[in-house]
Chain A
């Protein structure tokens, strides 16, 4: 079957004009995007600090530098949709509507946390807002997303699933088994699933080049007859355009679609990791120049949608939100000890 490989980075330049007047978003929405990304950034920086102070335990995987990716696709979230990802999950939860307070409290392992202190950073869940987790085993969650999509089609809900997974996980058997099912079931319109491959170029210390001989990762979707394309995921406008187009198609056809979202992990794999022998400082410095928030802010300034003062105000506001979340988490009580034995089995 023919697969389209429109590079959305390019199509963004052609299709989405530079001037604000041709964008399908009003000023409030555009400012809102900036606010969301900045809030996530400052929230995570605060979490990183708390982790270093020993106030957050376990693992902490940050989404710093990848914010536009989740925001662009989740902008197409509609009630009834289901979102699932791995452990790098703070941004997804926050964008979908979990409050910074309850997410931070979860990272602190407090009873007021999003999952009552039971899961921590890797296992955020917020089902009422369409967020179905938060999983820690690489590849393990991928088949679940395909199952969600089948159920959505079967139940004629008109809803779809967004399934996020990393470049490291695409080499796991779970991806291949699940993608094959999605392609197969999609032929009958039974798999409205958006596969979002978050290619941040590394799985821990292993670059894409060192993990596979076929480094054009999205071509792996071809094996399962899943249409796909790439997008420059550090360009919010490119992601928004792509997301709008492909989610419309998925909803209409019930077939899966693959996205290779190009980004870069500027932070260490986890907040506890300090050795970075596997890549050069120059490489990271270069990648930081393409920071999605900076790029987006530049566009806003260019288009005359926002002034420096507006952006400063957004940062101040985001800082206050992050500070408030930390304060809330610090002051919250630990989970009650009786919680140890709840939620093991359903009645």
Chain B
């Protein structure tokens, strides 16, 4: 199988679908002439021209709303948020219009709109440029929220996203654009609402998504050295949500740790923990642990930032606690 970076996987999904389907267009800041701030769209303007790769001014509310208008009327736009931090300027369009127009029009319109871009922190961008918004967007009915972490899933889920007839919040692991992985040749899709078992294990289930997944794999290795077999689940999809894979795993391991970079209150991990206690209560041998970002806006200083996000040590300690190996 060919090996490519996460960035290239996303690009190839978009380029291939643009070849197949003329209604697919891209919009965003500096995605064309500049090549994309993170080079995800690099070269696409040369291939498809500036009517299909549309450079926009810095007006997230305006161009996201315009893309929504295109989506409602026969096109399949993909909007790049340079980073998801800037989507707050477009939240009115995303939530008030995109997520609801089908419902309040009594089903008369469909919204095949993809909004994609990097999400998450870890590179000292401080408070305004560091957010993990899966829980935030996951709160609203009427949109789907996904967060692939491997190049394989990035491409397969991007193809699913473009073909979906609903607004898709596509959150990329910004820190991993350069990470490589195997990607099948040709057309394939990865469905939404299916979690991935990244590593099989029997003693404890570690659950996360996005850039935390490689961290969990490291934790699993650490635990293996201590004679503990950890299962790692990559949610991939936040809404719709794969209850079955999680519950089956916990039935097997009886213990779970949920990890996220975002804040703990009203978050994805809260939801995962709730689902586990609702559906696997009798199988649990310990309360579900949540490891989350510190309840503060993201700091700049490196030492503070490291302290603000889940670390291998913190996650391993949580795993030992649910195994009653550590207090």
A residues with CB within 8 A of B: 57-59, 109-111, 113, 117-120, 122-123, 135-140, 168-169, 171-174, 203-206, 210-212, 275, 277-278, 334-335, 337, 339-341, 344
Contacts and interface: CB of A to CB of B under 8 A. Distances in A.
10 contacts: A58-B124, A59-B125, A118-B127, A122-B128, A136-B126, A171-B59, A172-B58, A334-B302, A341-B295, A344-B295
A117 B126 CA distance: 10
B141 interface: no
B89 to A, nearest CB: 7
A205 B34 contact: yes
Contact of A109 (B294, B300, B308): B300
B58 A169 contact: yes
B57 interface: yes
> How big is the B interface, by class?
35 or more
Contacts of A140: 89, 128
Contacts of B294: 340-341
A158 to B, nearest CB: 32
Contacts of B303: 109, 334-335, 337
Given A57-B123, A57-B124, A277 B33 contact: yes
A340 B58 contact: no
For the complex, would chain B's binding face be called helix, strand, loop or mixed by DSSP majority? loop
Nearest to A120: B300
A120 B62 contact: no
Given A117-B304, A118-B300, A334-B303, A58 B57 contact: no
B61 interface: yes
A249 to B, nearest CB: 30
Given A122-B129, A173-B89, A204-B34, 7 more contacts: A58-B124, A118-B304, A137-B85, A139-B89, A206-B30, A339-B304, A340-B304
A235 B301 CA distance: 37
A339 B124 CA distance: 16
B37 interface: yes
Contacts of B85: 137
B104 to A, nearest CB: 23
For the residues of A in contact with B, the DSSP-based class is loop
A321 B297 CA distance: 33
B55 interface: yes
A118 B300 CA distance: 5
B88 interface: yes
Contact of B29 (A122, A136, A137, A206): A206
Nearest to B129: A136
Interface in B112-134: 123-129
A122 B62 CA distance: 25
A168 B85 CA distance: 17
A109 B57 contact: no
Contacts of B304: 109, 117-118, 334-335, 337, 339-340
Nearest to B88: A137
Contacts of A58: 123-126, 129, 300
